[in-house]
Amino acid sequence: MLAKTLQKGDYRVRKILRFALAAGLVAAFVVFAAGCGSKKSSNGSTTTTSNSSNSAYPGTYANGSSAKGGTYTIGWEASFGFTDNFDPTGEYLGNAWGLYSNLMLRALVGYKHLPGAAGNDLVGDLATAVPTPTDNGLTYTYKLRSGVKYAPPVNRAVTSQDVAYAMNRLASPNDGGEYPFYYTVIKGWDAVASGKATTVSGISTPDSSTIVFHLTAPTGDFNRRMSMPATAPIPPEVGKCFEGSKSANGAYGRDVISSGPYMFQGASGKFTSCAALKPFSGYAGANGSHIILVRNPNYDQSTDPYRKNYVDTFKFVVNSNADDIFAKVQAGQYDDEVSAPTPKTIEQYATSSTLKPRMIPNVGDRTNYITMNLTQPPFDDLHVRKAMNYIINKAALQKAWGGPIPGSIATHVVPPVLYNGGLSEYDPYATPTESGSVAKAAAEMKQSKYDPGHTGKCTASVCKNVVMISDVRSVDKTMAPIIENDAAEIGIHLTIRSVNGAYPVIQKPGNNIPISDRSSWGKDYADPYTFFAELFDGGAIIKEGNTNYSLVGITPAMAKTVGATGTVTNVPTVDPDINACAKALGQARITCWENLDKKLMTSVVPWVPYLWPNNVFIVGPQVTHWNYDQFTDGPAYSSVSVKQ
């Protein structure tokens, strides 16, 4: 079990867990992979690159009219694997978030359950609207909708006090919270986190339909933070049955009380006491074989403008055989899947005119990248890092992942969808067909201290036997030789070390890893802050579980603390930029993040971004409507329908 503390450092590991499955889905698409990189062009021309708006993949599917009724069955590979047994306070997997936000829980604010930029637009959910902060950005007041009621056995109206209880539960170090660090800006949060108080003083409930948050500093994305599942209301009478001890952590996952349109099968009657409360039959636990959700009889559709709720019953069925899952999807026994499509399946659907419409790629709000450590030679030289961006054959790496269906070529840090389509054409290291350029790379290398003869190649001794950490996945085995061959063209000779589960190795600064191809990052919520703060904030560098792999902003004192050696003085920092953007609102906020993205790509250059991955789903023949949910990076279950 992962450590449950309020330190941001623990988040790094949790983040990996959330996106591990998504990364695994794409890893299967090596059916179209090439074995090595191609030679670079020597000219300096540029091309227009693809971008993560990905209009070719609209993220929707229609095969008839949508109608109420029916059962929607989803094959779920291996196990549910939830990080806290589906307890919303401690759950961190995106697949679980999909069930929460679409079907079971109503946070104060939420999303439209649509693909693309529209799916990242924030809307009122439990609250009547997304509030504008007052008091110079320090106060947020939410008004709750009337008519929102809990499912059985609670059977009462949701109140502001229930939201406050959920937040206090998240702040408590004893109740399994997985991402409480996002809320430390609320006054009094740290007092609860340290055990000095039991309630957060900066949260008040003037009446049962109003909740107010008082912050210690302006936080431009606070509304988005309030969209996350752990902030959704929990009835205290039930929640208190599962708090305050390790044995209780996660147990609420078997008895989650729904405030949304669906609930666990078996939830019924009236709540009388903790002793009388039994686990609902619709969920047998993280290692169980099924989740069955049925309609919440207390749900009022008129209070919910964005969920469609066509289906009567959802059945999530564990099946350890991926081939069998997709065979059953094709045959109509399953309607959807949470699995890794095999190369055979991808090829089958991509080449069949009848099956192809049922394979739906969607932008994943993630970036795959090669990370370079700014403290380790030769990557402690800006010109070397720029040369790497010019020499890497991104087209070959995209092909290693399976081509344009699994993802579009990345040209900067944050996918454009999180900028509302901004920076779609920004490509500071453009090369012909994105295949790399010897001429451009050599021009940068000639300016490096590691090329004293200005030969266009790294000739210093530090350019030999440079360790690159890779993984043992099929896609890594294909990518590593491409990167190795490319780097050699500018005199950097890599020594590839393949590790089964490479993240813990590169997450320890004391290992002083120069370069790695394993890195991938996706959003927590629809704001670029969830990229920049975790990946480039110098103050977030920690000894274990670190995700600022490039060590941007590290100082000599910090280096000593975390065990990093090498060039630890005068490492560039973007901490002031992150702090400034974090306070901004509206378009000014987006523009600020865009400018920081450009700064990182031109003045800092910690990465070679190469892929904005898609998530690919395959649906069955009985499905009449399907949407991608951009927030959860999965199916918008609240809008799916099946033939009647």
pLDDT below 50 — which residues of the chain? 1-54, 246-247
Residue type, 351: T
- Report pLDDT for 572: 97
Express each pLDDT in 556-603 by its tens digit: 999 999 999 999 999 999 999 999 998 888 899 999 999 999 999 999
**Kind plus residue range of the DSSP H or E element containing 595:** helix 586-599
Assigned fold of 60-316+616-642: D-Maltodextrin-Binding Protein; domain 2 (3.40.190)
| pLDDT tens digits, one per residue of 5-54 | 222 223 333 333 333 333 343 333 333 333 333 334 333 332 223 333 44
Q: What is the pLDDT of residue 246?
A: 47
Residue 554, classed as helix, strand or coil, is coil
pTM score, two decimals? 0.80
Query: In terms of Cα–Cα distance, which of 280, 342, 322 is closest to 76?
Result: 322
Helical residues (DSSP H) of 282-426, grouped into ranges: 322-331, 343-350, 382-391, 394-401
| Spatial CB neighbours of 4, under 8 Å, sequence gap ≥ 6 | 10, 90, 173, 176, 177, 178, 249
Please state the domain extents for the chain. Answer: 8-30+370-614, 60-316+616-642
Closest CA to 407 of 346, 482, 335: 346
Q: How is the chain split among helix, strand and coil, in percent rounded to 5?
A: 30, 20, 50
Quote the CATH superfamily of domain 8-30+370-614: Dipeptide-binding Protein; Domain 3 (3.10.105.10)
pLDDT at 59 (0 to 100): 87
In this structure, what token pair is assigned to residue 516?
A: 């790695």
pLDDT of residue 614: 87
Per-residue confidence (pLDDT) for residue 7, from 0 to 100:
26
| Nearest-angstrom CA–CA distance, 127 and 108 | 5
> What is the pLDDT at residue 605?
98
